[in-house]
Structure 1
Amino acid sequence: MSYQNMAAALTPQDIQEIKVALQTVQKKLPFLITLSTQERRKLVKMGDKSLAFVNNSVTAAQSNREILPATFDVEELVRDYQLATALTELLISMQQITEQVDDTLMAVGSEAMTGSLTVYDYVKTASKKTPGLKTVAEQLGERFKAIGRAKSAKTSVS
């Protein structure tokens, strides 16, 4: 779907149902772990190119058990490979959804910011003549104070 203008909404019930569905996904994957940065660095990585290597090594191990040490668990290797391929498939699907949610959030956030900037401009202009809007204009202007300080700091350094 190409982007034009967001005209969508999520009801509280929709949000709750999505959260329940996500909880179901988590319950179906009770073995998921969280690795520390240090743990991630230490692990041997398996990327797309390595998937064929692992597949071929599984086939070789199954066909030539006699050359492997008795302590090598071929069935564990097969289970690891099967889980890796299943998780890869799920990850691709989840990444597609995540990318769409991220893009949609960016688009609708942009629309909300653009509309808010328009409101802010009108409030600033009207606050000069309309009683009670000065406080609102100042409140809305708080969002830009840090930006103004950063610009003046850059200008004074140059």
Structure 2
Amino acid sequence: MSQNNVSLELSNEQLSQAAQAITTLEQAFAGLVSLAPAERRRLVKMGQKSEVFCRQALRLLAQNPQVVPPGLDLAEAQADLLALDQLAPLLDRLQRLAERGRDTEMALGADVMDAALEGYGLLRVSGRQQGLDGLRKELSNRWARRSSAEVEPVEA
């Protein structure tokens, strides 16, 4: 018996609405940046443990402007913190939606794979009697192992 982790039918209207919503989000968040992997590694990151420290430091600096040197743009740091606070709940929602999307994609793929494997098993058992042996052999390529001599070299 085939598994059915999820049943999902998406109408053209739903797909169109989703595409429009994504376009709207892309336009609304045009100021978001994309970092190269090297840039991500280089940045000093504010994690959960550092967040309290950062908030307290900015608050103390704002309360004691006499210690803030001209080269430290406190107003920009405060604006960055505000933007972070505004963006975080939206990103949390987007992340949850993306996780549900990935889980649904995985469940749909698993359902398809399960049905295909069950069907392949049926073809192996009764395919010859139905004149489907040639087609079953084509499907068996999925399970064929290649020898090292058959594997094409990867070009750099």
- What is the distance in 2 between the residues matched to 1:18 and 1:107? 20
Structure 1 residues 62 and 29, CA gap change in structure 2 (3 angstroms): same
Match of 1:155 in 2: none
Match of 2:94 in 1: 94
Aligned-CA RMSD value: 2.0
Match of 1:81 in 2: 81
Q: Deviations over 1:45-104 (max 9, x none)?
A: 011122222211221121111111123222101111111222322222122112211222
When normalised by structure 2's length, the TM-score is 0.82
Moved more, 87-96 or 107-116: 87-96
- What is the distance in 1 between the residues matched to 2:117 and 2:108? 14
Give the AA of the match of 2:19.
Answer: K
Match of 1:153 in 2: none
Match of 1:139 in 2: 138
- What is the distance in 2 between the residues matched to 1:50 and 1:90? 21
Matched, 1:7 2:7: yes
Relative contact order (alpha carbons < 8 A, sep ≥ 6): 1 or 2 greater?
2
Contact 1:54 1:81 in 2 (8 A): no
Q: For residues 1-158 of structure 1, what are the structure 2 equivalents within 5 Å?
A: 5-131=5-131, 133-146=132-145
Give the AA of the match of 1:135.
Answer: G
When normalised by structure 1's length, the TM-score is 0.81
Structure 1 residues 59 and 38, CA gap change in structure 2 (3 angstroms): same
Shift of 1:41: 1.2
- What is the distance in 2 between the residues matched to 1:71 and 1:128? 81
Give the AA of the match of 2:6.
Answer: M
Give the AA of the match of 1:58.
Answer: L
Unaligned 5+ residue runs, structure 2?
149-156
Unaligned 5+ residue runs, structure 1?
151-158
Shift of 1:35: 1.2
Give the AA of the match of 2:16.
Answer: Q
Structure 1 residues 119 and 149, CA gap change in structure 2 (3 angstroms): farther
Report how many residues are paired.
Answer: 145
Shift of 1:12: 2.6
Give the AA of the match of 2:89.
Answer: E
Give the AA of the match of 1:124.
Answer: R
Give the AA of the match of 1:52.
Answer: V
